[in-house]
Chain A
Amino acid sequence: MHGKALPYLLLMPATLFLCVFFLYPFALVAFEAFTRDGGFTLDNFRTMAGNWKFPVAFWNTTLLAAIVVPIQLVTALLMATVVSRLETGRGAALYIFAIPLGISDLAAGLIWLAIFDQSGFLNTLLSNLGLVDRPVMFLGYQSKLTIFIAVVLAEIWRATAIMMVILVAGMGLIPREYHEAAEVFGASPWKRFVKITLPLLRPSLQTAIILRVILAFEVFAVVAALGGTNLPVLMGETYNWQFSLQDRNVAAAFALLILAISVGLTLFFLRALRVPKEARI
């Protein structure tokens, strides 16, 4: 009896934790999103979608995710391959790549703000090189594109390592025999990467992409630091509705929308990168 119950007992704390700190608040938020003054209504979603900033925020967020995640995926694959190949100094390389992970996203935003600011490092550099007469304003309201690029750069710098760490772990799981066999048959490194590493890495890729996509839709602090209100994103609007506009119901609607997008994309990637049971290592 003891043996059978044990796994469930061990799962209990985590389950309880999830119920109290995730499911319960989630139920409350969902309730708030669909009610107003006590009655059921879809008004909150209508208010959300009808706001003039909503389409802008939605497309900014989507576009950010669509640009940042693929770039990060490629970079992370490259970094993971390099790290896996290293004979010496593997640990050191991993640590160095992972440094940005240890920095909070707001701090990361501020670091990049210090670079792009009107009196920041980039301007100092440019004017010392004699390339500009007066400081250039990179992050003004007229230069939304530069703000966007700055956010993309900051996000890539900050969050690529988390994908890399997952991929390095995944690469470690691929048995050496496959590579050795391919080498014997004369497959080029690129071919080995495409035919062996990538397919066998699918479970890790799945995890890494899902995690990263969810985080991409929750982007907030980096944008707030670099763009202020010049680049509205979904999470920023949620915050705005909750705290500036004091409307919890519409904020809850925003939160549910972000959740729906995350769940939808998670299901998509679970399906698209599915690994049949018999094909698992």
Chain B
Amino acid sequence: MNALKTLAGAALALSIAIGGAQAQVLFWSTQARPVEETQKMRSEVLKAFNGQVDYQVAEDGPWLTRLQAELQAGSGTIGVLGGLHGDFSTVGADLVDLSGVDVGGVKLNEAYKKLGTLGTGEQKYLPWMQATFLMAANKQALQYLPAGVDLNTITYDQLIEWSKNIAENTGSPKFGFPAGPKGLKHRFFEGFLYPSYTGSMVTKFRSAEAETAWNKFKELWQFTNPNSTNYAFMQEPLLTGEVWVAFDHVARLADAFNQKPDEFVAFPAPAGPAGRGYMPVVAGVAIPKTSPDMDKAKALVAYMLKPETQIATLKATNFFPVVDVKLPDDMPASVKAFGPTITTMTGAPDALPALLPMGLGDLGGKFNQVYVDSFERIVLGGQDVHGVLEEQAAALKALIDKAKASCWAPDKPSEGACPVD
């Protein structure tokens, strides 16, 4: 009798536990991973949602592994997904069509909304927030800026000259680059260096222009703090003064501006012969087919797009809104510094937007590796530029062909797989 009672009690406790778990929506995200940002997402952004949210972050690999496991099992606990455009392209077929989600009167960025269809007729994800990469400089570095250089129209040659001046006058190289294992170096090569010199990301991978680009970068590397191969977030070396001029994602520069607003300036990415290449970063929210509570998940997606939520998200993560919204005056110093700079960069006459890779599916990691390997071999290993590009181009071609991915901006749209000349 007693045993039965215990058993019944246990069953009851279990059902309560399960019920409790289901009342929460699991928001499984690759974004806002730094602990402070995750905490702010929970305590400030998601608190006002009617119904509890369990915001959990994971690195891209584990994020995808768990999602795929749930999809394969046919049932899961993940309610809503948060990730970059590239994260979703892998699992597009298993995402719910969100075109029916009622977002109220909110006006979404149309271009990003179209990206969210992943080339299908369905709204696979809805844009959630956006960011890009910028340059940041310590104001002490400005005195070494070569005469006649305007930061807003800076070129790669001018950046090299400037970095050289700084290195020669201060005795140590002070350009900084996030080349550590967790740094976003691949985005620099894909979205900034290549487009600026070749006007292309993929097609002209091993062109003569590409060789020039790598040689220019090698030149810049001489004036780059060698500790760069350990950097992940440039805000840290900027704050310690190890680095005076740096390139990074806005969310990874923000702390420097927020902690010492008067010491840093933000400026657009440099331009090369083919234009001012830059990469907009779009994050989105999606719902997997295995989501346990579809209505609640859709409500959460709509909640993420509300103007108040978007502003709270900006404060928490330094990712900018994707909906029409007027920013209040009490924004952090980083937002005040980055907002106008982003406008300048994206509105420059020579602006050349380069999108994140599309249609590569789970080959996205290998695509990045092609650029990272080229960097490690050419710049760190000192191998011959031409030879390395030939070899890496073969790897690039193989994986583009395998994915049958057609070209994306800045490469011209192609029929069939994007060619690597």
Contacts and interface: CB of A to CB of B under 8 A. Distances in A.
A36 B60 CA distance: 22
B181 interface: yes
B131 to A, nearest CB: 21
A140 B229 contact: yes
Interface stretch (B41-49, B145-153, B372-380): B372-380
A245 B240 contact: no
B167 interface: no
Contacts of B242: 118
Contacts of B413: none
A141 B369 CA distance: 18
Contact of A246 (B226, B230, B240, B365): B365
Contact of A243 (B62, B229, B240): B62
A244 B64 CA distance: 11
B64 A246 contact: yes
Contacts of B366: 245-247
Contacts of B180: 228
A230 interface: yes
Contact of B365 (A53, A134, A244): A244
Counting chain A residues whose Cβ lies within 8 A of the other chain, the interface size class is 20 to 34
B364 A246 contact: yes
A261 interface: no
Interface of A: 52-53, 118-119, 134, 137, 139-142, 224, 228-230, 242-247
Contacts of B364: 246
A114 to B, nearest CB: 13
Residue of B60, B376, B391 with most chain A CB atoms under a 10 A cut-off: B376
B240 A119 contact: yes
Interface in B53-100: 59-62, 64, 90
A253 B352 CA distance: 41
B369 A245 contact: yes
B369 A229 contact: no
A243 B59 contact: yes
Residue of B60, B369, B380, B391 with most chain A CB atoms under a 10 A cut-off: B369
B132 interface: no
B227 interface: yes
Contacts of B61: 242-244, 246
